Amino acid sequence: MKRFFERLVESILTVSGTITTLIILLMVIFLFKEGLGFFRNSNIEKAYSLAVNSENPVNELSSKQIKLIFDYEITHWNEVGGSDEEIVPFRLDEIFSRYSDEELGEDYEYLPEKLNEVIEETPGIVAFIPTQYLPENQSGKPIQSNVLKTDNLSFSDFFQGTEWLPTATPAPQFGLMPLLMGTLWVSLFAILIALPLGLGVAVYLSELAGKRMRQFLKPTIELLAGIPSVVYGFFGLVVLAPFVQNLLHLPVGETAFTGSLVLAIMALPTIITIAEDAMQNTPQAMREASLGLGANHWQTIYRVVIPYSASGISAAVVLGIGRAIGETMAVLMVTGNAAVIPHSLFEPVRTIPATIAAELGEAPAGGSHYQALFLLACILFVITMIISISAEMISKRQPKGL
């Protein structure tokens, strides 16, 4: 009977582990399937086309050029390889100010014909119109000779792009650089703040604090790790942001620096707990040998204890970085949510996790914006996986002298 019970438990654990592994694998496959589908989308809005005059020599525009044209920053065709003709951006709603409802037809059956008239009468025009309303030839087929070629979104558009404007028309901009830079800035400075404080507290708890003080502080610090991130975000928004704004005389308090402070506070319990446990594992005999050779207490700490526990301290730092990079709600609340490349620590920024949390609910399923957010999640997954593997490898490294 006992043998049967043991086999039953073993089978349940095996099945449970297999199912869990399979679910995780399917989640990763789904994540990358949706994310990589981003590069199969056109560089302009789905179901829309760009039409030009039939005598215009330009037959292709990049996503960046399209945006600059419709933002009136590129004003002549010779700037994009065409003739010295002024560019005339045209959107579909302008047709209704040129023609009456009777001329367009009750069901807009004459709309393609009128669009063709406007396009052929305006040499410098670039018309952003639904594909279903493209001008037709006599056989009823859409005229393709004056439709600009639209390529799929490329790796350079995403990984080298400097603008994140998913709602821009006619060419949404999905540039990773502002979000990646914002994530790295906030996380890096959070670790620079948390690392010396965390190691200092870990040294105090392990080597200097009395037994009662350690028994009080250790559970209290570990309790900080269980506080929901939204609470940290609320504290940062209500307390830290106004404090930073008034102290540094900034226009706004929601900056990368404020986000770094909040993340530093959140990373401290992880760094302190793991680093202190690593220092506690230093054999007492090594401490006594150091003291016996004439070293004082502080010399023993930084010449024996810290070098011996270096792998554990390194793992604490790496896990602290992972906590900072993957944080969502707290960063979303205190960094200002400005998707621009930061030039200073005291400017608003936006991180990758905050972007996913803020925009995924509004992105149409299956669209380029939706898939771009999944691609951001893929990048975040790869970053955190590298961090986790690094922490695992570092933590398993044997201390010198063993």
198-202 mean pLDDT: 90
How confident is residue 156, by pLDDT bands cut at 50, 70 and 90?
Answer: confident
**Does 60 score more than 90 pLDDT?**
no
Instruction: Report the range out of 137-151, 261-275, 290-304 with the highest average pLDDT.
Output: 261-275
Tally of helices (H runs) and strands (E runs) in the chain: 18, 5
Band of pLDDT at residue 145, cut at 50, 70 and 90: low
Q: What is the mean predicted confidence (pLDDT) over 368-380?
A: 93
pLDDT (0 to 100) of residue 255: 93
Phi-psi region of 72 (alpha: psi -120 to 50; beta: other; left: phi over 0): left
Q: How far apart are CA 98 and CA 105, in angstroms?
A: 14
Q: Which CATH architecture has domain 177-396?
A: Orthogonal Bundle (1.10)
Tell which wins on pLDDT, 185 or 152: 185
Domain ranges of the chain: 48-152, 177-396
Which pLDDT belongs to residue 136? 65
Burial track 366-397 (b if 16+ CB lie within 10 A, e otherwise): ebbbbbbbbbbbbbbbebeeebeebbeebbee
Position 402 scores a pLDDT of: 44
Q: Across residues 154-170, what is the average pLDDT?
A: 88
Count the helix, strand and coil residues of the chain and give each as a percent rounded to the nearest 5: 65, 5, 30
Mean pLDDT on 142-149: 70
Q: What pLDDT is stored for residue 395 in this prediction?
A: 64
Mean pLDDT of 341-354: 90
Mean pLDDT of the residues in the chain: 86
Check residue 61 and give its pLDDT: 87
pLDDT tens track for 270-302: 889 888 888 888 888 888 888 888 888 888 888
Mean pLDDT on 257-265 = 92
List, for residues 65-79, the tens digit of each pLDDT value.
898 999 999 999 999
Residue 92 has pLDDT above 60, yes or no: yes
Percent of the residues in the chain that have a pLDDT greater than 90, as a whole number: 26
Contact 359, 237 (CB under 8 A): no
| pLDDT of 105 higher than 50 | yes
pLDDT of 258 over the 90 cut: yes
How many Å apart are CA 326 and CA 229, to the nearest integer? 11
pLDDT, position 138: 46
- Structure tokens that stand for 114 in this block: 């009128």
- In terms of Cα–Cα distance, which of 274, 271, 272 is closest to 217? 272
As its CATH architecture, domain 48-152 has 3-Layer(aba) Sandwich (3.40)
115-119: Cβ within 8 A, 24+ apart: 115/51, 116/143, 118/90, 119/51, 119/52, 119/53, 119/54, 119/90, 119/146
| Least confident among 56-65, 319-328, 340-349, 387-396 | 387-396
What pLDDT score does 350 carry?
92
Greater model confidence, 46 or 395: 46
Please state, in angstroms and rounded to a whole number, the distance separating the CA atoms of residues 213 and 276.
Answer: 14
Query: Residue 10's Cα: distance from chain center in Å?
Result: 41
Please give the pLDDT value at position 348. 93
pLDDT of residue 40: 87
Q: Which residues contact 147 (CB under 8 A, 6 or more apart)?
A: 49, 50, 51, 52, 134
Tell whether the model's pLDDT for residue 21 goes beyond 50. Answer: yes
